[in-house]
Structure 1
């Protein structure tokens, strides 16, 4: 009798340990918002347009959470969400050969007398963990490109991704980074095209 009880206890502990290990391998509730790596960027020509990107306003309905896990707990971050997106856009514009500055507000941006100003707002940044192996993300922003005469371009853009695979501690971090890239690359291209059309 003692032997069988010990066997059951051992089996329960083994199962609990396996469940804990699997959970530990999954994404944590705290998500790191990683910046896209700086690859070889194009050096801007002295005559390249001067663009100032202003930190986007945070218009998310829930600014305290980044999403929801399958146990209904929240994904959170210690990083500044609007700065994460705005800086990534500024870096992407610099890769496209523009002279870019990053400003915390419009007054700071205007003090540098740029040729173009990019402002915007973050409408949605959301992660959803459907299961131990399935996670999805959505980013949505609205932005405005203006020159000294007025607005040139205004639009909303969104990017979403989903990933299935073995649980990983960095799954949420990496998924957010890939989604950010999907968002800022087309945004930067549209801004570049609009600026070039002014020449």
Structure 2
């Protein structure tokens, strides 16, 4: 009889544990966390090329959401995805010693007469919650580097990550930030390499 009475208690405990795990998981609204700010000691190198990064165009099919949860509801964000990615790339280029500026459009960028212009488009920023303990992310952008004479380099760049483990409220946000870093670092390296090759 004691075992029969304890069964509902165990069941309630399990249901409560599942509820708590769900409550601790990511919410539908995801913040776009900024990368760490530039170190004050990072200064442009003497005679460094000037690079203007223009805010990328958002070419995603669904700009209102950034993913889907396991219950079919959408992940959304109050932030603007395209400037978030573009500014992160500008910061990464600044860490390489270039004189970097950020512009909201090409006209604004050209008014500063930079040596190089970086433009691009965001094709995908997507979160997928497969289960209460697993979430993945995917980003894809097309980036173009040009000088005053024309295009020098253009490429579609991708990054993806996944997380497994106990969920938390910041899981989705941290995952997006880490994926952003994986996206912009290789892009910045290719831009730097292209510019350095032109200088030789």
TM-score (normalizing by structure 2): 0.92
Question: What corresponds to 2:128 in structure 1?
Answer: 128
Q: 1:94 to 1:62 in 2, by over 3 A?
A: same
- In the TM superposition, residue 81 of structure 1 has moved relative to its aligned partner by 0.2
Alpha-carbon separation, structure 2, partners of 1:13 and 1:80? 42
Question: What corresponds to 2:36 in structure 1?
Answer: 37
- In the TM superposition, residue 20 of structure 1 has moved relative to its aligned partner by 2.5
Alpha-carbon separation, structure 1, partners of 2:31 and 2:10? 36
- In the TM superposition, residue 24 of structure 1 has moved relative to its aligned partner by 1.3
Paired residue secondary structure (1:38): coil
- In the TM superposition, residue 8 of structure 1 has moved relative to its aligned partner by 8.1
- Specify every segment of 5 or more residues in structure 1 that has no aligned partner in the other structure, as ranges: 1-5
8 A contact 2:38–2:91 mirrored in 1: no
Deviates more, 1:78-87 or 1:13-22: 13-22
Deviations 1:109-153 (A, max 9, x none): 011110000000000000000001111000000011000000000
RMSD of aligned alpha carbons: 2.0
- In the TM superposition, residue 100 of structure 1 has moved relative to its aligned partner by 0.4
Alpha-carbon separation, structure 2, partners of 1:65 and 1:9? 40
Deviates more, 1:7-16 or 1:31-40: 7-16
Aligned length in residues: 197
Deviations 1:49-70 (A, max 9, x none): 0000000000001101100000
Paired residue secondary structure (2:123): strand
Question: What corresponds to 1:3 in structure 2?
Answer: none
Alpha-carbon separation, structure 1, partners of 2:108 and 2:15? 55
The runs of at least 4 aligned residues of structure 1 exceeding 3 Å deviation read 6-17
TM-score (normalizing by structure 1): 0.92
Map 1:160-175; keep pairs closer than 5 Å: 160-175=160-175
